[in-house]
């Protein structure tokens, strides 16, 4: 049996998925053995045909693929959790490219840190020069987080906790002996198709750490994330900030009551919106519009909790 299975969940991104698989095939292969499992989630763009042809061609890593018809990334992830039999499982997203040393770095980290139930690596944007100049601005009005996942905790390995950093879902390895304790991904969270949902990975990591799993950062596990120029337009960035912030309200570490929207949340929203209207500088306006969108998402998150509480109260005998 191989040591490692790389899991890639995908939805209607055949071209990007092919790049991801190409990068895994080109990476150095550990002697312990690696295979790849792709879960095609409600795909309608030729992904199935591409995977069928690719699984039959020689030379690449052993590739198996499954179709998950129920739309939602968490459904695809949970199917993968049930199917993997190797001691290590690596999650890689379909819009990332693995570095040449990525696979070997996973095996090395697992061997060197036997206490690590979870391992994450470094994830950097795959800049190609088409991005607007402001994305590289390090100043006080920089836009964060960008819709290009970035994770870099330095050049040295270290243990991570939630107060330091949590990786994204496509940048993690888990020892499969822990899966029964951690449980599946929440199907109430996460993207459905290409919408802007999220937080299924954060909730899963927090749950894992809550049952005793330890998270090790291995910087040699390097991936590069695809940059979509359309996602760097202000309108998209604001929609993303609103949706992602809304999804975090109520998660562990972001607990909230169910008594409605706190006054401070409304004040924060109003303050950011006023600053965006009153400033004459483009970088400040962009920054405060993003903060206002995130604050609006927070307000909507509190409203969601209040609705859920009312519904739960109505179901009680």
Domain boundary among 173, 199, 231: 231
Look up tokens 């690590």; give the residue.
116
Domain boundary among 231, 262, 278: 231
Strand ranges in the chain using DSSP code E only, listed in sequence order: 4-10, 34-41, 63-68, 88-92, 96-98, 118-125, 158-160, 171-175, 215-225
Q: What is the pLDDT of residues 94-116, one digit of tens each?
A: 999 999 999 999 999 999 999 99
| Domain extent for 242 | 233-315
Are residues 118 and 104 located together in one domain of the fold? yes
Are residues 239 and 311 located together in one domain of the fold? yes
Are residues 54 and 84 located together in one domain of the fold? yes
Are residues 297 and 214 located together in one domain of the fold? no
Q: Is the predicted pLDDT of residue 35 greater than 80, yes or no? A: yes
Q: What is the pLDDT of residues 18-29, one digit of tens each?
A: 999 999 999 999
Are residues 38 and 103 located together in one domain of the fold? yes
Are residues 142 and 118 located together in one domain of the fold? yes
Are residues 174 and 241 located together in one domain of the fold? no
CB within 8 Å of 3: residues ≥ 6 apart = 30, 32, 33, 34, 86, 87, 88, 107, 110
Helix, strand, coil percentages (3-state) for the chain, rounded to 5, are 45, 20, 40
Whole-number pLDDT of residue 253: 55
Q: Is the predicted pLDDT of residue 237 greater than 90, yes or no? A: no
Are residues 108 and 198 located together in one domain of the fold? yes
Counted domains in the chain: 2
Q: State both tokens at 161.
A: 């906790």
CATH number of the domain that 184 lies in? 3.90.550.10
Are residues 238 and 214 located together in one domain of the fold? no
β-strands 215-225, 158-160: how paired? antiparallel
Q: Tell me if the bond preceding 145 is cis, omega within 30° of 0.
A: yes
Are residues 19 and 126 located together in one domain of the fold? yes
Are residues 187 and 46 located together in one domain of the fold? yes
Q: What is the spatial distance between Cα 91 and Cα 94, in angstroms, rounded to a whole number?
A: 10
Domain boundary among 172, 200, 231: 231
Asked if 286 contacts 309 with a C-beta cutoff of 8 angstroms, the reply is no
Enter the DSSP assignment of 133: G
Per the prediction, the chain carries an average pLDDT of 90
pLDDT above 90 as % of the chain: 66
Are residues 77 and 27 located together in one domain of the fold? yes
């Amino acid at each position: 049996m191989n040591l490692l299975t790389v899991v890639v969940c995908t939805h209607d991104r055949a071209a990007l998925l092919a790049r991801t698989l190409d990068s895994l095939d080109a990476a150095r292969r550990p002697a312990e053995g690696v295979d790849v499992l792709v879960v095609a989630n409600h795909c309608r763009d030729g992904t199935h045909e591409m995977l069928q042809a690719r699984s039959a061609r020689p030379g690449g890593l052993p590739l198996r693929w499954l179709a998950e018809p129920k739309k939602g990334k968490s459904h695809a992830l949970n199917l993968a959790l049930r199917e993997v039999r190797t001691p290590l499982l690596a999650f890689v997203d379909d819009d990332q490219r693995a570095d040449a040393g990525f696979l070997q770095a996973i095996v090395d980290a697992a061997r060197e840190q036997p206490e690590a139930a979870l391992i994450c690596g470094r994830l950097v944007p795959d800049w190609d020069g088409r991005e607007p100049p402001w994305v590289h601005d390090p100043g006080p009005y920089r836009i964060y987080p960008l819709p290009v996942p970035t994770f870099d905790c330095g050049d040295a390995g270290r243990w991570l906790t939630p107060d330091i950093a949590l990786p994204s879902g496509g940048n993690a390895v888990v020892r499969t002996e822990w899966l029964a304790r951690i449980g599946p991904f929440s199907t109430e969270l996460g993207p459905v198709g290409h919408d802007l949902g999220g937080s299924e990975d954060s909730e899963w990591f927090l749950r894992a750490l809550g049952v005793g799993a330890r998270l090790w950062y291995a910087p040699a596990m390097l991936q590069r994330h695809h940059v979509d120029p359309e996602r760097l337009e202000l309108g998209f960035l604001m929609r993303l900030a609103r949706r992602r912030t809304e999804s975090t309200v109520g998660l562990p570490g972001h607990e909230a009551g169910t008594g409605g929207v706190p006054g401070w949340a409304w004040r924060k929203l109003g303050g950011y919106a006023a600053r965006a209207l009153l400033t004459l500088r483009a970088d400040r306006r962009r920054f405060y519009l993003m903060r206002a969108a995130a604050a609006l998402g927070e307000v909507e998150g509190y409203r969601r909790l209040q609705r859920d509480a009312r519904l739960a109260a109505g179901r009680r005998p």
